[in-house]
């Protein structure tokens, strides 16, 4: 990939972190970059990996009209990813109540795509549906089911749909994608 994506994608701006110099100055953190990106009035923000206090800023961005924003988080399950995101937001702003963090997450995060490390990878697509009391409610939309009769180096199986209507079907309809979504969700 070229160092500056704007030469082949004119509406894309790439920003990179930088460690501090020998005198301990000049560091540019992911948190700095997310805040500066917000000043550029982007349609969406894509952050390579969230692993610290920048989670708070990404969550704020997703809750202020930057639909389609994405980031990655390392966790064992989608539920663990939610817990890690809560922890990282707390790292940035320890005085925020957990309920407030969860409400922001339920409002901003629509989907989690899990890529599990196995012999050749496993994926699950989970949707954040909302909140019930102080708990974030999720539902699996697709899950990979192994074919246990075909054990070999390559994992064999199929993605099975949960055959539930996703909570984000209304925004899909707004963008003219509801029929494609429902077709993909058909058992």
pLDDT band for position 104 (cuts 50, 70, 90): very high
Question: What are the residue boundaries of the structural domains of the chain, listed by start?
Answer: 13-109, 110-187
Q: What is the DSSP string of 51-102?
A: -STHHHHHHHHHTTT-TT-EE----SSHHHHHHHHHHHHHHH-TTS-HHHHH
pLDDT of 5 above 60: no
The pLDDT, as a whole number, for residue 122 is: 58
Whether 50 contacts 58, CB under 8 Å: yes
* Cross-strand pairs, 73: none
Residue 40 has pLDDT above 80, yes or no: yes
Residue 178 pLDDT > 60, yes or no? Answer: yes
Q: Which top CATH class is 13-109? A: alpha beta
Asked if residue 1 has pLDDT above 60, the reply is no
Name 2's Cβ contacts closer than 8 Å, sequence gap at least 6: 8
Q: What is the pLDDT of residues 47-78, one digit of tens each?
A: 888 989 999 999 988 888 777 888 999 888 88
- Cα–Cα nearest to 172, from 157, 185, 155: 185
The overall average pLDDT reported for the chain is: 84
This prediction's pTM: 0.78
Q: What pLDDT score was predicted for residue 117? A: 62
Percent of the chain with pLDDT strictly greater than 70: 89
pLDDT tens column, 128-169? 888 999 999 998 888 877 777 777 667 777 888 887 888 888
Regarding predicted confidence, which is higher, 146 or 101? 101
């Amino acid at each position: 990939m070229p160092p500056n994506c704007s030469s082949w994608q004119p509406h894309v701006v790439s920003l990179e972190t930088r460690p501090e110099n020998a005198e301990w100055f000049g560091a540019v953190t992911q948190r700095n970059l997310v805040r500066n990106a917000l000043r550029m009035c982007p349609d969406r923000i894509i952050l390579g990996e969230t692993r610290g206090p920048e989670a708070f800023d990404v969550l704020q961005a997703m809750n202020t009209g930057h639909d389609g924003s994405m980031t990655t988080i390392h966790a064992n399950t989608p539920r663990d990813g939610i817990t890690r995101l809560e922890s990282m937001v707390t790292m940035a702003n320890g005085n925020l109540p957990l309920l407030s963090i969860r409400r922001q997450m339920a409002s901003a995060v629509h989907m989690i795509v899990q890529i599990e490390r196995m012999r050749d990878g496993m994926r699950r697509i989970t949707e954040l549906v909302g909140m019930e009391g102080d708990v974030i409610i999720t539902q699996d939309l697709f899950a990979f089911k192994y074919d246990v009769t075909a054990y070999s180096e390559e994992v064999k199986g199929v993605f099975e749909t949960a055959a539930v209507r996703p909570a984000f079907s209304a925004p899909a309809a707004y963008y003219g994608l509801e029929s494609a979504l429902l077709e993909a969700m058909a058992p």
